[in-house]
Amino acid sequence: MQELGYKLYLVFITSWFLHLTSRISILGVLRFDFLLIAVMVGMIIYQGNVTENKYFQSNTAKILLLIIIYVLITLPFVEWPGSVIKKGIPEFIKAIVFYFFTISFIDTEKKLKVFILVFLACLSFRVFEPLYLHLTEGYWGSAAYAQGDFMNRLAGAPHDVINPNGLAAIIDSTIPFLYFFAPFSWLYTLLFACAMPPFLYALVLTGSRSGLVGLMAIVIGCIIKSKHKALLTAIVCICGIIFFVNLSAEHQDRYVSIVDPNVRHSATSHARIEGIIDSFEVALRRPVFGHGLGTSAEANFNFSGEYKIAHNLYAEVTQELGLVGLLIYLFFLKTIIVNFIHSNKVLQESVDEGSFLKRFNDAMQVWLFMNVLFSLASFGLSSYIWYLFGGLSIVMVRLSSQVHEHGDETVDTGSES
């Protein structure tokens, strides 16, 4: 049952991230992803994981459960309870299942390795597909407006409805793993060397300023983790200068607009900041319980005139769950950070620096650091990312504890759940 659940989870993430239900019509008709979710939830309940698995009783799980209860008990007091029931709760369920499936089915190092390989393969495909379409057919997918002119921007492929910033986030998400896994073998090193140029090229084509900030966060995180900080810093600075001077004038202008208010694209940068301020002002209309889960775009449309989800995680949470909900959610994020810090300390005492678990935990910490910064310019309350983070943080607590208590030989034996 455990093995079957794990394999179904791999099928689910492949279907979810590659949008197979959009590409293969029969899967869409069958509601394939929903069927997989229903089957896996049934398996978890049948196995008794909720009551028997101690990792379901972790602080992370308890706070996530508190968020769920909070959404339900505040339903009568929000602005649009109908929207919460019709849209907010279904979308939230699709996101939080990543947490429960991850802690239920990934209980060995071998399973974690295969899972992250499939996950990275899916993310990489989502980058290479629009890049391939761009190179062969001139595909862009999106554009940005700046003082009378439009700048083409690479977005997700036609079956992958994701904006340029979302595509940039996917690119940034793959880089920490490519970097930390590169020393494992010459094959991984070759993969890192071959993947980075097209990934960085695609990142430039997105024209995403938040993507560039995310990349800088990853670089800083990798330098902090490195034993050769001075050498890596020098290499990064040289590559950064070469990278920037070879950009088109349009892309240079867009990236400089992050810090310079006098260039053409600074207007959109300033508009983004104003948008975040407006989002918090909308949130403060109902500061206690919020407008309701999944209603950020609806609230912004009604009270600021623009139908967009708040492009700031904390403004989005405040709009939908109020200040009380924001406080609870911040505690949820804190437990994730604490889990990875705890795992890192345990692994430092138990395994070599070059072990998979140590390098994976380093990559996760850098990826987490990047997403904390990215969350200042993106939404995510009902997106999978933070719940996958939460699940993987529990997996690392579990596996690092196994290594510390029993040694490497027990990591691949499975758990009692």
Indicate the pLDDT class of residue 49, thresholds 50, 70 and 90: low
pLDDT of residue 54: 60
Task: Look at residue 407 and tell me whether its pLDDT is greater than 90.
Answer: no
Task: Look at residue 271 and tell me whether its pLDDT is greater than 80.
Answer: no
pLDDT of residue 146: 62
Q: What are 144-188's pLDDT values in tens digits?
A: 766 667 788 999 999 998 999 999 999 999 999 999 999 888 899
pLDDT of residue 285: 92
Percentage with pLDDT > 70 across the chain: 90
Q: Which two tokens stand for residue 311?
A: 């492009």
Mean per-residue pLDDT, 115-135: 96
Q: Which amino acid is at 150?
A: F
Q: What are 145-154's pLDDT values in tens digits?
A: 666 677 889 9
Percentage with pLDDT > 90 across the chain: 67
pLDDT of residue 408: 53
Helix ranges restricted to H, 19-80: 20-23, 25-29, 32-47, 49-52, 59-73
Q: Which amino acid is at 306?
A: E
Q: What are 205-225's pLDDT values in tens digits?
A: 998 888 988 999 999 999 999
Task: Look at residue 250 and tell me whether its pLDDT is greater than 80.
Answer: no
Indicate the pLDDT class of residue 40, thresholds 50, 70 and 90: very high
Q: What are 342-364's pLDDT values in tens digits?
A: 999 999 888 888 899 999 999 99
pLDDT of residue 50: 57
Helix ranges restricted to H, 159-284: 164-181, 186-206, 209-225, 229-245, 249-256, 266-283
Q: How many Å apart are CA 348 and CA 336, to the nearest integer?
A: 19
Task: Look at residue 71 and tell me whether its pLDDT is greater than 70.
Answer: yes
- Give the chain's mean pLDDT: 88
pLDDT of residue 147: 60
Between helix 313-350 and helix 59-73 the angle, nearest 10°, is: 160
If phi > 0 it is left, if psi is from -120 to 50 it is alpha, else beta; for residue 119 that is alpha
Task: Look at residue 309 and tell me whether its pLDDT is greater than 50.
Answer: yes
pLDDT of residue 413: 37
Burial class (CB in 10 A: 0-12, 13-18, 19+), 169: buried
